[in-house]
Amino acid sequence: MYHDAVGQFDRVASLMGLDKNVADRLRVPQRSTVVSFPFRHDTYNEVETIFGYRVQHLNTMGPTKGGIRFAPDVDLGEVTALAMLMTWKCAIVGVPFGGAKGGVRIDPMQLSRAELQRVTRRYTMEIINVIGPETDIPAPDLGTNEQVMAWLMDTYSQHVGHAVPAVVTGKPPALGGSVARREATGRGLIFLIPQAANATGIDGSSLRIAIHGFGNVGMFAAVAAEQAGHKVIAVSDISGGIYNPDGIDVSSASKWIQEHRFLEGYPEADHIPGNDIFGLECDVLIPAAVQGVLNADTAKDVKAKIVIEGANNPTTIEGDEILRERGIFIVPDILANAGGVTVSYFEWVQDVQKYFWTENEVVARLREIMTRAFDDVYSVAISENVDMRTAALIKGIRRVADAKLVRGVFP
Ligand code: NAD
């Protein structure tokens, strides 16, 4: 993943004629922290050694910002790639952060609540010297949630001796989390459908949508899609997919997940293998689970006219080529899923100012930023005659490079 991210950066940097000194500086992260720590299972005498990572790609324009993922296969390369992508993402939507990402190499599905809490608190202690409200602000990602962010905030606050809500975003509103943060990433994806449909030349008012992944991003994308008058015909999670050509009842499927954790056994739709989602007859496909799922095998089967990338890096380089050759319009991850970091920025601003906004204010400002970012990227795509992914990278890299050049070199 890191080689892909750097390869993509090199390609776009050369296309833009980017200053070589700046390009060399941006290819590597500013700081990478790798930790290992002991973790005691509930069965008291079993102690496992766990690896954790926190990579900060760029702190030129402000603190770094990015999620923490808990996954059994996460590694330094993946986290470094995602930190770099976060930098471009923040620059595209114009929030004053650089990119960061964290990871803990563990399967959260196998942990009890007490185990999850112990891992979170110990990992937080391991990285405590490199995070902070003015330095680096974590958020949820794959396998982590509001509760994990609450434990992180509590651990940091215990350490410094007073409550520091701004050290983390995506925490529960009771602790200074923003209203509408939970829904932000999924909602942001759906906000972009009218513009993507317009660019593709189709009527964007009532479309058939298939969503791979039914966690934070996928589920709230489904809710927002239904509210916007679209039909969610299929969703999937790690246990498989559910399909109903007449539309899935999203609130009933969400309730099922809250009670049963997985879609397996859900009674009100047909069950299909999870990967069948990619080849379904639909208008919009939203990958919202893990990386690399739209690849040389799956991209050729995609029937959607629009792909909106909810997950980070869901499309491989080969998959991207195939989709583009087939004329499928892709809204790339660094633009499409930027709703999460945008409302995280709102949350940080509210925490720092200790003044909280209403849901209507948050949602209206999110919509404004997302739709403006789409227009900005789309106009680069037209003026430079490039695809949306390249255009988004040009937009993000240009903003960061300008900031780097005016700050100069110390000393
Ligand atoms: P999550 O853990 O809440 O949900 C992940 C979903 O994907 C679950 O339904 C899970 O069952 C499914 N899944 C996991 N592994 C899978 C596999 N191997 N095959 C098929 N399905 C699988 O995570 P999330 O927060 O919704 O994040 C999903 C993606 O979106 C990630 O790539 C993440 O980096 C990206 N993202 C998240 C946010 C955010 O605000 N949460 C913001 C931007 C990007």
For the chain, what are the domain ranges? 2-164, 184-336
Cα of 263 to ligand 1 centre, how many Å?
14
Question: Atom 41 of ligand 1 has which residue's CA nearest to it?
Answer: 141
- Cα(215) to centroid of ligand 1, in Å? 6
Ligand 1 pocket test: pick from 92, 111, 141 the residue with the most ligand atoms within 8 Å of its Cβ.
141
Q: Choose which residue among 65, 185, 187, 211 to substitute to test ligand 1 binding: the one with the highest number of ligand atoms within 8 A of its C-beta.
A: 185
Residue nearest to atom 19 of ligand 1 (CA): 238
Span from the CA of 213 to the centroid of ligand 1 (angstroms) = 6
pLDDT reported for residue 81: 97
Q: How confident is the model at residue 63 (pLDDT cuts 50, 70, 90)?
A: very high
Nearest CA to ligand 1 atom 37: 141
Looking at the CA of residue 333, tell me the nearest atom of ligand 1: 44
- Active-site pick, 20, 65, 89, 101: 101
Instruction: Ligand 1: list residues with CB < 6 Å.
Output: 140-143, 185, 213-218, 237-238, 274, 288-290, 310-312, 337, 340
404 catalytic? Reply is no
Q: How confident is the model at residue 404 (pLDDT cuts 50, 70, 90)?
A: very high
Q: What tens digit of pLDDT does each residue of 124-159 get?
A: 999 999 999 999 999 999 999 999 999 999 999 999
Neighbours of 267 (CB within 10 A): 8
Q: What is the predicted pLDDT for the residue at 276?
A: 97
In three-state secondary structure terms, 263 is coil
Per DSSP, the three-state class of 69 is strand
Examine the pLDDT at 184 and tell me if it is beyond 90: yes
Residue 276: phi and psi, rounded to 5, are: -65, -20
Report the CATH number of the 2-164 domain: 3.40.50.10860
pLDDT at 44: 82
pLDDT digits (tens, 9 = 90+) for 246-291: 999 999 999 999 999 999 999 999 999 999 999 999 999 999 999 9
Kindly report the protein residue whose alpha carbon is nearest to atom 4 of ligand 1: 215
Across the strands, what pairs with 127? none
The closest-lying atom of ligand 1 relative to the alpha carbon of residue 290 is 32
Tell me if 2-164 shares its fold with 184-336.
yes
* Bond before 411 cis per omega within 30 degrees: yes
Sign of the CA dihedral with 144 first, then 312, 236, and 244 last: positive
pLDDT at 384: 97
Could you tell me the pTM of the whole model?
A: 0.96
Contact 161, 277 (CB under 8 A): no
Q: What is the pLDDT of residue 402?
A: 96
CA 214 / ligand 1 centre spacing (Å): 7
Measuring from atom 17 of ligand 1, which residue has the nearest CA?
Answer: 238
Q: Kindly state the helix (H) or strand (E) to which residue 34 belongs, with its residue range.
A: strand 31-40
Decide: helix, strand or coil at residue 380: helix
Please state, for a pLDDT cut of 70, what percent of the chain lies above it: 100
Q: What is the mean pLDDT of residues 215-244?
A: 97
Residue 66 has pLDDT above 90, yes or no: yes
User: Ligand 1 centre and the CA of 216: distance in Å?
Assistant: 7
Ligand 1 atom 18: residue of nearest CA: 238
CB atoms within 10 A of CB 364: 12
Atom of ligand 1 nearest to the CA of 82: 34
Dihedral sign for Cα atoms in the order 155, 160, 161, 163: negative
Q: How far is the CA of 57 from the centre of ligand 1 (A)?
A: 22
Q: Tell me which residue of 12, 63, 34 sits closest to 344, measured CA to CA.
A: 63
- Say yes or no: domain 184-336 is CATH 3.40.50.720: yes
Burial zone of 160 (CB within 10 Å; 0-12 exposed, 13-18 middle, 19+ buried) = exposed
